[in-house]
């Protein structure tokens, strides 16, 4: 079409007509309302059809001689996609680390031919619209297109420059992970793997490939005083195609409402319309108290760090959350989970931990029966009480409510299957956890521990080598040293155990395992020294009697070892879960006292 026959600044794409002179956008003859800057943005993109425009180019064109943040451009992009609707939003394509491209076929509109030409153009546009609709149906309606079945929510970026808002940024992303994990048929990568990309300028496509997911959700958060802006964007990993994006704004005091709005919008985009099965999924109850929600986010932010100081700080914030709203089930569930981590790190004696876990998890489920996290914590408490049936029941309930609960999968492996010698099933269950949380160092360490207890020592070492490759500073709790000891490689065993003990902090277990390795290597005085240190530590904090019993067993002090194992049984020691399968207790197995202890611990003859 020659320029003389074309109306300047009049374009058509799909069922839309863009009139630059009249500053008017219509869709099938119906006016579409656009804000001035959104209209300018659409015009820029349409006139540059097919060419990727950088963010800098767009911001300079839209706000000449004015400094603006990138969030302003993101907001306008979101508004434009919203205005174009589901059949047009995909035309505004995000070019990672560059800018945006308008991919629609844009045609200049002719001014000749009278009404016949207009009608012809109209029917051509209508035909194109029908074609696009058919394509949309093919790609969007379940059964015509493979629905998104796997997703990673990357840590949102704190773009406001306020380091104190980091808990808020992480909390919004983590809440989305928790909410989306309840959707049937959708695999959602767990927090610990997704958040390994925190602080990195991660390319969504590369991150998605590494996490082996179909789509990635990214976001940016800007907090200015009581004002909050959240920009979320969904990207198809395989096609590197923008699927959805939206800007959410509100007051910090309205954060619970804003979070719920974001979750609903993303859920609707992933599962629209909802199936009958998805409508049955329990809806998480959120608090209406902004103070409770902010303290909850602060709490889970610190608990995720897993260090003793951070766990205590997380506990304080979560207690403040339930004080602000005593009906906040999710905060009680997070408290129960916090007590579980404290027990694992020997920060709480098991009986005290069980009392706290059962009170918090019980209250959580009373308020919100759909909380998978509460059932997971209760599973650990049941195991410490030697209730194997109760352990399985709680963990299976956790997975029924949330199939994406990687923590429940790995705990079934460690606390139910592995203790009774069902090693192949334990390995498989832990593998499922790894699929949901592929970069979790703890789950890889659990894989190594299962293989160690299954006496597959060479395979266990392979898992520990993976850990070292991923994070040389990660402590595997001295289990690696135990593997070397069983293989008779004592210099390596002692080096690994000493390294773990030096990083242990308040956790006394690595020191006990160092004493065991020293005893196995023939260093009896070194083992006795570890026992003396453990006795001194026990004066001020909890030391698991099971751990101390292992050192005495390696030294050949059978009576002392059995006395400590009886004490561990009375304490509900977490270590007693391994009684039936632990290689370190092999010197005691022929003693009748051992069979009696196994029977009482619910682990059979």
pLDDT in tens, 438-456: 988 889 999 999 999 999 9
Q: Which residue has the higher pLDDT, 307 or 418?
A: 418
pLDDT at 71: 64
Look at residue 500 and tell me whether its pLDDT is greater than 90.
no
Contact 237, 205 (CB under 8 A): yes
Q: DSSP state, 409?
A: H
Q: Taking the CB of residue 330, how many other CB atoms lie within 10 A of it? A: 26
Q: How confident is the model at residue 285 (pLDDT cuts 50, 70, 90)?
A: low
Q: Express each pLDDT in 29-47 by its tens digit.
A: 777 877 777 888 898 888 8
Cα gap 549→582, rounded to integer Å: 12
Helix crossing, 308-324 with 290-303: angle to 10°?
160
pLDDT at 130 over 50: no
pLDDT exceeds cutoff 80 at 142: no
The candidate with the shortest Cα–Cα distance to 517, out of 540, 486, 542, is 486
Name residue, tokens 């992009």: 77
Tens-digit pLDDT profile for residues 179-202: 888 787 889 999 889 988 887 667
User: 545-567 as b/e, with b when 16 or more CB fall inside 10 Å?
Assistant: bbbbbbbbbbbebeebbbebbbe
Backbone angles phi, psi at 14, to 5 degrees: 60, -130
Q: What is the pLDDT of residues 329-371, one digit of tens each?
A: 999 999 999 999 998 888 888 899 999 999 999 999 999 888 9
Q: Give the single-character DSSP code of 507.
A: -
CA distance 49 to 107: 10
Question: What phi and psi, each to the nearest 5 degrees, are found at residue 53?
Answer: -100, 135
Whether residue 138 is predicted with pLDDT greater than 50 in this model: the reply is no
DSSP state of 417: I
Judged by DSSP in three states, 460 sits in: helix
Distance CA 204, CA 496 (A): 36
The pLDDT of residue 419 is above 50: yes
């Amino acid at each position: 079409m020659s320029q003389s026959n074309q109306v300047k600044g009049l374009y058509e794409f799909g069922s839309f007509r863009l009139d630059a002179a009249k500053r008017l956008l219509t869709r099938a003859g119906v006016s579409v309302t656009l804000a001035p800057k959104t209209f300018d943005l659409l015009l820029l993109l349409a006139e540059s059809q097919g060419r990727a425009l950088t963010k800098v180019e767009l911001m300079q064109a839209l706000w000449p001689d004015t400094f603006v943040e990138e969030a302003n451009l993101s907001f306008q992009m979101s508004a434009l996609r919203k205005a174009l609707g589901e059949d047009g939003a995909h035309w505004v394509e995000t070019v990672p680390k560059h800018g945006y491209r308008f991919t629609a076929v844009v045609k200049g509109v002719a001014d000749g031919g009278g009404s016949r030409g207009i009608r012809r153009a109209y029917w051509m546009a209508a035909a194109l619209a029908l074609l696009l609709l058919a394509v949309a149906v093919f790609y969007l309606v379940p059964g015509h297109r493979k629905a998104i079945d796997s997703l990673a929510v990357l840590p949102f970026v704190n773009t406001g420059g306020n380091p104190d808002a980091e808990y808020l940024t992480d909390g919004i992303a983590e809440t989305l992970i928790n909410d989306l994990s309840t959707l049937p048929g959708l695999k959602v990568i767990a927090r610990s793997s997704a958040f390994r990309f925190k602080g990195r300028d991660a390319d969504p496509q590369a991150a998605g490939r590494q996490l082996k997911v179909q789509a990635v959700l990214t976001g940016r958060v800007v907090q200015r005083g009581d004002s909050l802006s959240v920009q979320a964007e969904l990207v198809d990993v395989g096609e590197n195609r923008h699927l959805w994006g939206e800007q959410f704004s509100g007051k910090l005091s309205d954060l619970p409402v804003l979070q719920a709005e974001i979750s609903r919008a993303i859920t609707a985009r992933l599962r629209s319309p909802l199936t009958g099965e998805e409508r049955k999924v329990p809806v998480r109850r959120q608090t209406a108290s902004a103070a409770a929600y902010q303290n909850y986010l602060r709490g889970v932010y610190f608990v995720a760090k897993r260090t003793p100081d951070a766990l205590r700080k997380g506990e304080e914030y979560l207690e403040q959350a339930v004080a602000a709203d005593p009906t906040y089930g999710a905060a009680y569930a997070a408290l129960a989970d916090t007590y579980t981590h404290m027990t694992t790190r020997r920060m709480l004696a098991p009986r005290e931990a069980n009392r706290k876990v059962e009170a918090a998890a019980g209250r959580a489920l009373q308020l919100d029966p759909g909380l998978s996290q509460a059932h997971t914590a209760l599973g650990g408490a049941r195991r410490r009480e030697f209730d194997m049936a109760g352990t399985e029941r709680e963990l299976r309930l956790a997975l029924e409510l949330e199939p994406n609960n990687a923590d429940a999968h790995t705990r079934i492996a460690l606390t139910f299957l592995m203790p009774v010698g069902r090693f192949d099933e334990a390995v498989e269950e832990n593998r499922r956890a790894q699929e949901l949380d592929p970069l979790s160092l703890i789950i890889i360490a659990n894989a190594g521990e299962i293989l160690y207890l299954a006496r597959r020592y060479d395979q266990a070492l392979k898992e520990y080598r993976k850990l070292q490759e991923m994070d040389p500073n990660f402590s595997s709790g001295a289990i690696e040293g135990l593997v070397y000891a069983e293989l008779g490689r004592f210099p390596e065993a002692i080096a690994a155990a000493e390294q773990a003990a030096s990083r242990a902090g308040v956790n006394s277990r690595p020191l006990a395992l160092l004493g065991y390795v020293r005893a196995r290597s023939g260093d009896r005085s070194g083992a006795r020294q570890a026992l003396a240190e453990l006795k001194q530590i026990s004066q001020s904090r909890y030391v698991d009697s099971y751990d101390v019993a292992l050192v005495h067993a390696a030294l050949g002090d059978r009576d002392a070892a059995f006395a400590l194992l009886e004490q561990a049984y009375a304490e509900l020691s977490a270590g007693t879960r391994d009684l039936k399968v632990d290689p370190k207790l092999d010197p005691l197995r022929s003693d009748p006292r051992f069979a009696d202890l196994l029977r009482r611990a619910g682990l059979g003859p």
